[in-house]
Amino acid sequence: MMDEYAQLASDIQTLDGLPVFIAYNANVDAIVRVDDDVESYLDRPSDPGERQPPSPLDSKRDLATAITHTMAAGRGDEVAMTDEFSETLEAEFEPDNQQMGGQTGIMTNLVSSLGAAPITYTYLLSERQLSMFDHPDAVEYPKVKDDEIECIPLREAVNTDRTKINWVFEFRVDDELFGVRATEDTRFIAASRPPEFDLVTGDLDAHVDQVGEVVDGALLAGYHNLTPDHVEEGYEQAHRHARNVIRRLRSGSEDDLQVHIEYAVTHDEDLRESMYEWILPEADVVGADTHELTLLHDDADLAVVETAPSEATPFEPEEILTHYRMLDAIRDDLGVGCIQLHAMEYHLAVMESYPHPDAVARGLEFSAVNAATKAALGNITSPDDLETGLEYEPSAAGRDAIELLADHLEETAEDGVLSTPTVAACPNRVVADPVGTVGIGDIVSSSSFVLELATASDRDPATDQSSS
């Protein structure tokens, strides 16, 4: 059996040159640490910490309501802003720093840093947005010319002066705002919603099958970026169109192209309902965190459990049984091959008729190393960075939980890792004092998916590259 470092080196080598399509949402995250300056800028809300935030956010008081509610709840959240308030924040407030944001941007940076070969599409690619890519020379952009897809260098694809900005307000335990103390280390995201983020990509939509011909898989996200103001014909029409694009993308592949769709929180119930009906059933894999899992379960009225576990409460190993039941019910209701959960103490996947279940556990273990590296360093820019993740031991609480699940299923977990044709699980590697948490879910999903793709296809990178 390989030791951890040899296995990591093998995994990284397997990813070399792996072609993958990533779309649709990249932006710049403006990072702000909650402090006295934030309090002096915002307007005090009524009942700080107690009220659910309005959606969309339209004022400094709305923003204060949202941040204090998130601090009190102990769970990260995201709410869209109106265009006008987004412009106000950008004009009046200065972030502490900025970094790549958006699921597509974060996943592209991770995949390119690991040596894979992403083809990435996003709507607004300004020079400012371009500067957020860690390895722009390793990323291609799909452009249509004379009805043919041409994958051009990302640097040649700049198409606007505008940039989508999301504001990320971070806080640590006991940080205070308007008398409300944070109960966990987490963040609130005030998200802009430019009209271009409408799931329409111009000529690419009609020719995306040509992208499907040249990639091994697709990581898709951003289906939650719609707003009523920007989608005149309604969510259903926009998502029907996006569903047809996914099908066209897949039609270009001779090998049943694998598609991972990363879910995301939105407070718009109609939008969540439309995504559940039109988008998620098209996935081979759906990725979600614990909060998103609860939304999926409750929105579908599955009633498999009475009360979902909350990360705001002390962790109990028995929670994994509840998560398993919820995942299994949602997977069955959607009719997808696999649904994956990234929780604090463990990563868990439930499958049915999935083409490569043996690769899933390996992907989950790899993603735990990536998650710990991201948390410890704040960013991953090179495969060498991942050795940092190995410095953090797999969660003992996660291991105990997985042992409980294995007993429940009458299966055996080896060293805390469960791998069967229908269930895979591994402990997460938890960093007690994380440098950065924004985007860890996207890191987990993208790293696990690309390694599953590469492992399942039994790639020989040297052979693949010499024949391309």
Per-residue pLDDT in tens (0 to 9) along the chain, 468 residues? 579 999 999 999 999 999 999 999 999 999 999 999 999 999 999 999 999 999 999 999 999 999 999 999 988 899 999 999 999 999 999 999 999 999 999 999 999 999 999 999 999 999 999 999 999 999 999 999 999 999 999 999 999 999 999 999 999 999 999 999 999 888 999 999 999 999 999 999 999 999 999 999 999 999 999 998 888 889 999 999 999 999 999 999 998 899 999 999 898 999 999 999 999 999 999 999 999 999 999 999 998 888 877 766 667 889 999 999 999 999 999 999 999 999 999 999 999 988 788 899 999 999 999 999 999 999 999 999 999 999 999 999 999 999 999 999 999 999 999 999 999 999 999 998 888 778 899 999 999 999 999 998 765 565 555 444
Token pair, residue 360, equals 């899933």
Q: What is the pLDDT of residue 1?
A: 55
Which H or E run includes 204?
helix 203-207
pLDDT in tens, 352-383: 988 788 899 999 999 999 999 999 999 999 99
Name the pTM for this structure.
Answer: 0.93
Q: What is the pLDDT of residue 467?
A: 41
Residues whose CB is less than 8 angstroms from the CB of residue 297 and which lie 6 or more positions away in sequence, other chains included: 304, 305, 308, 326, 329, 330
* CA 457 to mean position of chain CA atoms: 23
Q: What is the pLDDT of residue 459?
A: 56
Q: Which of these, 125, 251, 295, 277, lies nearest to 197 by C-alpha position?
A: 125
Residue 24: asked if its preceding bond is cis (omega within 30°), the reply is: yes
Cα–Cα distance list, 257 to 146, 218, 337, 442 (Å):
25, 8, 13, 20
3-state secondary structure of 189: strand
Q: What is the pLDDT of residue 78?
A: 92
Which H or E run includes 286?
strand 285-289
Which domains are seen in the chain, by residue range? 4-26+101-162+194-457 (3.40.1190.20), 30-99+163-191 (3.30.1110.20)
Q: Distance between CA 436 and CA 98 in Å, rounded?
A: 12
